[in-house]
A and B are shown apart, each in its own frame.
Chain A
């Protein structure tokens, strides 16, 4: 095997793997806290990426309006849920979060959008929009189902994926989009060429992993999120609201998804339905990590990215088959290692 090709493929694999790692981390986080297997994670990726790409052309993406519409529905659900004991404080909070926030984001987007808007502002706007969508998605689809089984949540999750992917087509059309690179710098080390974009991918991935580690290890809210993941009833008994934990988990997941999207869209053209596949690969990393371990997930993601890079070179036709069958040996190992007596549950 040619060393240069191998290094090149490895570099490619690690760049993709870093993205999958971010997504895998978000999936693990959301599952641990809310028991939702977040299939629409892929839509957070496309929404982030394509909103950013559209903003770069000076247009206001439809996602900004979607956030407002979802906020209105979320507000309605809040009112309905609190109908028996309607307190002013609650209503004001709900209006601020569900109406004022998305409207402000929409207004800001209209005010700032233009062909000359700096990249940083476009990124910030895309993140805000997708974060709001993530927040409201939890309120609308998952909070009312919080007490149900993993299966029901999973099917609901699939429903959200279908709806959001369809909306993606409405907002962005069937044509793919590409966004401007975060940086056009580039340098070479030996045979490898490092672009500013790929450095940004590595840098942001590492920064995010460190930030998550600090958040979960040292802040009360981070610990509360972990507590919810470890023991939901225990968390409720000390007064940690599962809804609050759920909202934060979805908020983090949507921001991570959007960032991943913004990092990829300058490298490859993204279509309204590309996110699903990208999300699924993060999801394979998450399954390999057992949906519990963050470090294992990150390592698995790098493996998935590398396997993908190598198989696209040596057996490009079967790239997806290989990546998705990767999971089977892992599952076999897991079932062999699984204890003979499984936990009892209803």
Chain B
């Protein structure tokens, strides 16, 4: 198994406060990996550090090459993409412009194909292509954020809480799409608070607590872990005890 993303012994600090401590993880080609954990566990911090938004000590390598000297923009260029928690769309620009800018680093001919692919994945975006991004509904904004990231033809897509603030039916839609991405050859690193949904589509999972990974393994194992069930799933599965 070749690791597309390999993070070893990563630490991330805000000033004196260490928000991520000694975390190691890897994501292979064609794999969906999820990181679950409570608010404030350090999940978003970790993704931002992998993307280069925050400084990371330790090592992070992408497709075998160390990323220490790469800026955010360089990481985008090598095929790493992040859909951040707050989506960070260009609110006063229309859907099409947002998508076009997603392909900023890509040759025009490839961008045209990317448009097709994104519109097939999210037909709703095609209907709204002349609408300003800021006026879209929450679910559509999430689709646009993912679509914009996919325009750049990434090898690994990192999603930070894609279900945040969305109605269950939309969440189902988003998660179905994430599943389809794997078929299209995109690996996914998914940070979610909605652990149930995340564990259902993921191959492997890490559980994060207070800046550290406390558990990891195949998603199906994590989903049935008693401790995870009590803390993150909220409800015990039938026939299991809470603690």
Contacts and interface: CB of A to CB of B under 8 A. Distances in A.
Given a CB threshold of 8 Å, the question of whether A touches B is answered with yes
Interface in B90-107: 90-93, 97, 100-102, 104-105
Given A238-B76, A241-B73, A226 B93 contact: yes
B131 to A, nearest CB: 15
A236 interface: yes
A240 B90 contact: no
B73 A230 contact: no
Interface string A52-81: 000000000000000000000000000000
B69 to A, nearest CB: 5
B91 A238 contact: no
Interface residues of B, number: 28
A321 B99 CA distance: 48
Interface stretch (B81-89, B186-194, B196-204): B81-89
A224 interface: yes
A35 B97 CA distance: 23
Contacts of B82: 237
A220 interface: yes
Contacts of A84: 69
A230 B151 CA distance: 19
A144 B174 CA distance: 40
Contacts of B77: 239
A225 B77 CA distance: 18
A224 B104 contact: yes
Contact of B101 (A85, A224, A241): A224
B148 interface: yes
A240 B103 CA distance: 10
A231 B101 contact: no
B100 A237 contact: no
Given A85-B69, A233-B53, A240-B73, A223 B88 contact: no
Interface string A214-238: 0000001001101100110111111
Nearest to B102: A238
A85 B89 CA distance: 32
Contact of A237 (B69, B88, B92, B97): B88
B51 interface: yes
Given A84-B69, A224-B104, A227-B101, A239 B91 contact: no
Contacts of B92: 226, 230
Contacts of A241: 71, 73
Nearest to B99: A238
B152 interface: yes
B166 interface: no
Contacts of B76: 236-239
Contacts of B93: 223, 226-227, 230
A237 B72 contact: yes
B72 A236 contact: yes
A192 B72 CA distance: 57
A223 B69 contact: no
B159 to A, nearest CB: 12
Most buried by B among A85, A226, A237: A237
Nearest to B76: A239
Interface in B11-42: none
Most buried by B among A220, A226, A234: A234
The 10 closest A-B pairs by CB, nearest first: A234-B88, A239-B76, A239-B105, A85-B69, A236-B72, A230-B90, A227-B90, A239-B73, A241-B73, A233-B88
Given A231-B91, A237-B82, 6 more contacts: A220-B101, A220-B104, A226-B90, A226-B93, A236-B73, A237-B88
Interface of A: 84-85, 220, 223-224, 226-227, 230-231, 233-241
Interface of B: 51, 53, 69, 71-73, 76-77, 81-82, 84, 87-93, 97, 100-102, 104-105, 148-149, 151-152
27 contacts: A85-B69, A220-B104, A223-B97, A224-B101, A227-B93, A227-B97, A227-B101, A231-B88, A231-B89, A231-B91, A234-B88, A236-B72, A237-B72, A237-B88, A237-B149, A238-B76, A238-B104, A238-B149, A238-B151, A238-B152, A239-B73, A239-B76, A239-B77, A239-B104, A239-B105, A239-B152, A240-B73
